[in-house]
């Protein structure tokens, strides 16, 4: 058995799999269960300052390997979530607290409240593709850096920044948040937004019309984003997008990720996905005669011509 442990800004993970934000992360009990099921770390649903209903149903379209969602960040608000994080900790795995705000100051307000529960990391969601201004910080290097600075001013807990792939300024945003003091980057959030139309009625299926695209087919886009970011920054990356197997995870890791987030695949494999990815990664490491995940991180080679 190879060594699957990894580290994100001093936070030790017993394996590199992370439950991604917004997937089963609505309550402490569920997060605890995911932790106990074998995930290396768990991320909460993105939490804002005040309780928020989110979008009207239908909020998801399941097309098998492709998934469209426009949840609209439903959440109980920061004060009501402090206790959920405390319960989640009983799962014994590091907790990544995902947060959002309408501006940099509000991000900091949310962090000030949730730090009472002492999560291991904050993840700043500056990249939601299905709320009005959700992606605006994630596409703007200066605004993204400001969010990091404001949150850093109110907490010593290390920060990760969740990147949107929907910008040509991906690398500039990554460099800016690193410079502003982020310790980790999470890449990527949903693509798009995308749209699915019911042909008989001619009506878009999502009540919100459009939503973030995730699942198997975003994996190559996520790998490319991770690769580009890893070439530009020194901080560790949680590679997210389209991971269903150890092979998918290994591609993100070779591109530069130190840990891998799993989202949509939970729908098909439920909680077995974390052990499945770890077992398959172990086989890959043995095949390549590597002793640890660390030996695989960022080992992408030049193309032979
Ligand atoms: C139903 C659903 C809800 C999501 N909610 C959030 C969220 O609250 N915050 C966030 O940062 N990302 C959210 N995401 C994005 C995922 O965390 C992940 O970045 C994205 O789905 C790509 O990974 P995947 O292909 O493994 O699903 C959500 C994704 C889905 C499918």
Q: Which of 128, 139, 225, 278 is catalytic?
A: 128
pLDDT(132) > 70: no
**Residue closest to 183 by CA, chosen among 155, 162, 160:** 160
139 is catalytic: no
pLDDT(305) > 90: no
Percent of the chain clearing pLDDT 90 (strictly above): 94
pLDDT classification of 131: cutoffs 50, 70, 90: low
Dump pLDDT digits (tens) for 181-224. Answer: 999 999 999 998 999 999 999 999 999 999 999 999 999 999 99
Which domains are assigned to the chain?
A: 6-295 (3.20.20.70)
* Residue 103 CB contacts under 8 Å (≥ 6 apart), including other chains: none
pLDDT at 164: 95
Structure tokens at 194: 């995308």
Ligand 1 mutation pick, 17, 18, 20, max ligand atoms within 8 A of CB: 20
* Residue 76 CB contacts under 8 Å (≥ 6 apart), including other chains: 47, 51, 84
pLDDT at 25: 87
pLDDT at 128: 74
CA distance 104 to 197: 35
pLDDT(130) > 80: no
pLDDT at 116: 98
Q: Whose CA is nearest to atom 7 of ligand 1?
A: 22
pLDDT at 192: 87
pLDDT(68) > 90: yes
What's the 303 CA to ligand 1 centre distance in angstroms? 31
Dump pLDDT digits (tens) for 14-52. Answer: 999 999 999 998 999 999 999 999 999 999 999 999 999
Q: Whose CA is nearest to atom 21 of ligand 1?
A: 214
Dump pLDDT digits (tens) for 75-100. Answer: 999 999 999 999 999 999 999 999 99
Dump pLDDT digits (tens) for 236-291. Answer: 999 999 999 999 999 999 999 999 999 999 999 999 999 999 999 999 999 999 99
Mean pLDDT of the chain: 96
pLDDT at 135: 66
């Amino acid at each position: 058995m190879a060594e699957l442990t990894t580290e994100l800004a001093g936070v030790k993970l017993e394996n590199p799999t992370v439950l991604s934000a917004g997937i089963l992360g609505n309550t402490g009990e569920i997060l605890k269960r995911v932790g106990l099921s074998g995930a290396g770390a768990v991320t909460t649903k993105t939490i804002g300052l005040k309780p928020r209903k989110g979008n009207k149903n239908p909020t998801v379209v399941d097309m098998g390997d492709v998934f469209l969602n426009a949840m609209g960040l439903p959440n109980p608000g920061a004060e009501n979530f402090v206790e959920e994080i405390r319960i989640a900790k009983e799962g014994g795995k590091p907790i990544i607290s995902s947060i959002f705000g309408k501006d940099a100051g509000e991000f900091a307000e949310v962090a000030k409240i949730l730090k009472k529960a002492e999560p291991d990391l904050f993840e700043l969601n500056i990249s939601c593709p299905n709320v009005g201004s959700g992606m605006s910080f994630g596409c703007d290097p200066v605004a993204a850096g400001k969010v990091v600075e404001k949150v850093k001013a109110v907490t010593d807990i290390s920060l990760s920044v969740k990147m949107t792939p929907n910008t040509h300024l991906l690398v500039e945003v990554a460099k800016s948040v690193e410079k502003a003091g982020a310790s980790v980057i999470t890449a990527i959030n949903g693509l798009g937004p995308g749209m699915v139309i019911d042909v008989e009625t001619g009506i878009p299926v999502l009540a919100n019309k459009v939503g973030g695209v995730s699942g198997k087919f975003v994996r190559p886009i996520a790998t490319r984003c991770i690769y580009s970011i890893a070439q530009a920054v020194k901080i560790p990356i949680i590679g997210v997008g389209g991971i269903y197997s150890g092979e998918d995870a290994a591609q993100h890791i070779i591109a530069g990720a130190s840990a891998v987030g799993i989202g949509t695949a939970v729908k098909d494999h439920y909680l077995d996905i974390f052990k499945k990815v770890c077992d398959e990664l172990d086989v890959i490491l043995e095949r390549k005669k590597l002793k640890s995940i660390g030996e695989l991180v960022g080992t992408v080679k030049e193309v032979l011509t």
